[in-house]
Amino acid sequence: MQQPAKKMKKVMVPRVVDGKETMVEIEVEDTGDSPKWGPNNAHRLLNKNITRVDAPLKVTGAAIYSYDVRLPGMLYGRILRSPHAHARITKLDTTAAERIPGVRAVTVVPSAAVVEGSQKATEEADKKNPIKVGGTAQPASNAVLKIVRFEGEPVAAVAALTPEIADDAIRAIVVEYQALPHAVEARLAMKPDAPKVMPEGNIKAASKSGDREKVAAAIAGCDAIIEAEYSTPTVHHACLETHGMVVDYRGGNTATAYASTQGTFTIPGDTAKELGLPESAVTAVVEHMGGGFGAKFGIGVEGKLACQLSKQTKAPVKMMLTRTDEFLFAGNRSGSWQKLKGGAMADGTLVALDATQYRLGGLGDGSQANQPYVYRPTQSYREVSSVYTNQDSSRAMRAPGHPQASFAIECLIDDLAAKINIDPIVFRKKNLPDTIYHRQIDRGAREIGWERRNKTPGGSAGPLKRGMGCAVGTWGAGGGPSCVVDVNVARDGAVVVAVGSQDLGTGTRTYTRAIIAEELGLSISDVLEKIGNSKLGNANASGGSTTVPSLAPALKDAAVNARLAVAGKVAPLLGIKPEEVIFADGKLSGGGKSLAWKQACAALPASGISARGAWKEPLQARGVHGVCFAEVEVDIETGFVRPIKMVHVQDIGLPLNRLAVASQINGGMIQSLGMALYEGRVMDAQLGIMLNPSFNDYKLPGTLEMPQLVSIIDDEDLREAVLGVGEPSLIPAVGAVANAVFNACGIRVRELPITPDKILMGMMKEERQKS
């Protein structure tokens, strides 16, 4: 019998491609009416402060991360990195390494394993002159074995009985390099005579938008004009758990991969390919993972090497990157260089903006949101280019491209406001047509005490000067149709919800339970979740703040279907219709009768009931607004900046767990504080190496740098829908801190991070100009 054709509808969903969020149109099944969340203030568990269900496991050390996996017969992997930014390998001898007792395998990284598509000529040379594992690979005259294009590029890998033996084996591999010209700084790479980083050149052709001549004419007629350059450095994800996998393959027909990943289902396919197995034969396990921030999708070069070593040895191989590995080849947030020229009228109207934007992504394209970002001047022009350098490729990092763009435009906005002598928040509200920002600005201003700020930047007396700044941000935060959720209710009352989604530490486990528990009238402890396994229902990767708006609607749908299934079995006992059964307080009631949950479940079949849920578009939304305020204290005698207070106001529709949302907002502010004041990759242009590839030298904000953090959920957002909050909570704080420094001391630092030397140099320059 022919099945009736499915009714389909088109929807727009977010996708993160090459570190940039974009919207794509897809077709999904139109399943008719969607369940509803109901008013945001009418929930029993949701929109409340919920303690994380995995907190006891984590604080007691019982939670098993990929880094913690220990398997019988497991070997430990290590990677040999290139010490050069650009070089040709002329000799590679692994003989000594293989002779070390306890070394079980050595493998060589093929050309272009890290930067795909950029080394075709080298690949051909490798075929003619293969590097022989286990013996000296001496090339013929003028032949090329392998070209390395950045410091840290993987060259070879070993597997040994202990990490220490693996370290010894890496040091025993003999490699001879012929150093080649390199360019690790964007401004040097842009020179006509710069060494070629890419065969096609070091600058990717610009994408352009707007009429530059019209913009120039509009700026010329403005009462205030600011023309300046703004730059942000390469910053690192700094995940507590490094990239890595444990590949358990013993030569049979199946394998298990324990991965530190943001996408459970990004692992089986590539793992299977490396092992020569069908994808269905590989199980990915992601019980707990120690942070990703956008860097951990797919198995990566470390996963490929783990697979190859496991396949060679027919034993489990654990390949977790060292901290130095992490800094040198595990990705980063791309730097930026922006040339902005903007003009405003005395009444506070932002008239025009001309923007030249450079994305600095190393060997990758980098990411940067288009200017004028959230503002809408009458006229605007932009051109955006990528500049390639001999550094490892950038990857997506929490709100890819947005903090860079927000920082530059927000500094320009404050500078224009100062020039026309208007309050910066008044200036913003006049040029932000979306009034949601207006209410958020007013709310944040009250909390920070905006009336106390310097009316003139640097206007306070004494060596310790305080100032305040403000900035705004935006993000999509919507979801898509990826998740498949199963809920099983057993005859003894046990409730299990299962989905393959990973929990990055953002509270997925907790709201997975809470949504089911609320629908069934149970407590959170009455529900058990099973997540982080590719044999469970499909789930999207966690990127672009899409997890909640993709998973939560499917959880709600599954919960409603489970409730209806249970009600269908219990309703006859109560003498009512299934839709009349009330689930509350651990009971099922109606018609003047009541049954405890376990009593009611005794009426279920011996196998219990199962219900499945899928994504329902109306249960999620897209488009969020955020405003951040910052207060700092600047010591003008030392240049030291002390953060005092940060306030972030964020809309989010229905907050599933207010405690987790506040935590995400706080984390966003802290991460932005690092980008604004402390963090940045430091490169030696001549040697082509990173000078601070460790937590000893790469400064992160710690407990002594923490200001008072105030996270405010915008409850005036009455949308009965869920949205993501991880990305948007980070974006505006960088600009807010930079503007607070400017308001405090009157020195505008346009190159991040804002370190004491830059403030002191700015003061010296100002003094020279006065004299």
Residue range 289-328, pLDDT digits in tens: 999 999 999 999 999 999 999 999 999 999 999 999 999 9
Residue 338 CA, chain-centre distance (Å), reads 22
Q: In this structure, which CATH number among 3.40.718.10, 2.60.40.10, 3.30.365.10, 3.40.50.300 belongs to the domain 8-63+479-617?
A: 3.30.365.10
Phi, psi of 363 (to 5 degrees): -85, 0
List, for residues 6-17, the tens digit of each pLDDT value. Answer: 565 555 555 545
**Class of domain 66-180+237-329 as given by CATH:** alpha beta
Q: Are strands 8-17 and 20-29 parallel, antiparallel or unpaired?
A: antiparallel
pLDDT at 26 over 50: yes
pLDDT at 235 over 60: yes
Alpha helices, DSSP H only, in 420-526? 424-431, 435-448, 508-520
Per-residue pLDDT, averaged over 186-195, amounts to 97
For residue 653, the cross-strand partners are 722
* Widest pairwise Cα distance in the chain: 93
The DSSP H or E segment spanning 300 is helix 300-313
Check if the beta carbon of residue 152 is closer than 8 Å to that of residue 681: no
Token output for 1: 């019998």
What's the pLDDT at 3?
52
What's the pLDDT at 110?
81
Closest-CA residue to 329 (of 544, 133, 80): 80
What's the pLDDT at 460?
85
Per-residue pLDDT, averaged over 723-742, amounts to 97
Confidence at 114, pLDDT banded by 50, 70, 90:
very low
Closest-CA residue to 520 (of 566, 551, 481): 566
Which three-class secondary structure state does DSSP give residue 753?
A: coil
- What's the first-to-final CA gap in the chain, in angstroms? 92
Confidence at 205, pLDDT banded by 50, 70, 90:
confident
What's the pLDDT at 541?
97
pLDDT at 707 over 50: yes
List, for residues 391-448, the tens digit of each pLDDT value. Answer: 999 999 999 999 999 999 999 999 999 999 999 999 999 999 999 999 999 999 999 9
Equal fold, 8-63+479-617 vs 66-180+237-329: no
Per-residue pLDDT, averaged over 195-217, amounts to 95
Left (φ > 0), alpha (ψ -120 to 50) or beta: where does 653 sit? Answer: left
pLDDT at 120 over 50: no
List, for residues 481-490, the tens digit of each pLDDT value. Answer: 999 999 999 9
What's the pLDDT at 93?
96
What average pLDDT does the chain have? 93
How far apart CA 513 and CA 160 sit, in angstroms, is 41
What's the pLDDT at 1?
46
Q: What is the residue type of 332?
A: N
What's the pLDDT at 29?
54
**Class of domain 434-477+622-770 as given by CATH:** alpha beta
List, for residues 139-162, the tens digit of each pLDDT value. Answer: 333 334 689 999 999 999 999 999
Per-residue pLDDT, averaged over 748-764, amounts to 98
Q: Where are the domains of the chain?
A: 8-63+479-617, 66-180+237-329, 434-477+622-770
pLDDT at 473 over 70: yes
Give the neighbor-by-neighbor strand order of the sheet with 593-596: 582-584, 587-590, 593-596
Residue 358 is classified by DSSP as E
The DSSP H or E segment spanning 296 is none
Q: What is the DSSP string of 128-146?
A: HS---TTSEEPPPTT--SE
| Residue listed under structure tokens 């993160």 | 16
Least confident of 91-95, 127-131, 503-507, 702-706: 127-131
How far apart CA 454 and CA 82 sit, in angstroms, is 51
Token output for 487: 């809920």
How far apart CA 244 and CA 247 sit, in angstroms, is 10
What's the pLDDT at 33?
77
Which three-class secondary structure state does DSSP give residue 4?
A: coil
| Residue listed under structure tokens 């009714």 | 7
What's the pLDDT at 191?
97
What's the pLDDT at 521?
98
What's the pLDDT at 770?
83
Task: Tally the C-alpha atoms within 13 A of residue 341's C-alpha that lie toward its C-beta.
Answer: 14
Which three-class secondary structure state does DSSP give residue 768?
A: helix
What's the pLDDT at 141?
30
Check if the beta carbon of residue 175 is closer than 8 Å to that of residue 153: no
Check if the beta carbon of residue 246 is closer than 8 Å to that of residue 219: no
Which three-class secondary structure state does DSSP give residue 174?
A: strand
Global pTM value: 0.93
List, for residues 625-662, the tens digit of each pLDDT value. Answer: 999 999 999 999 999 999 999 999 999 999 999 999 99
What's the pLDDT at 501?
98
Closest-CA residue to 308 (of 354, 348, 270): 270
Please return the burial class of 357, using the count of CB atoms within 10 Å of its CB with bins 0-12, 13-18 and 19+.
buried
How far apart CA 477 and CA 328 sit, in angstroms, is 30
| Residue listed under structure tokens 């470390």 | 302
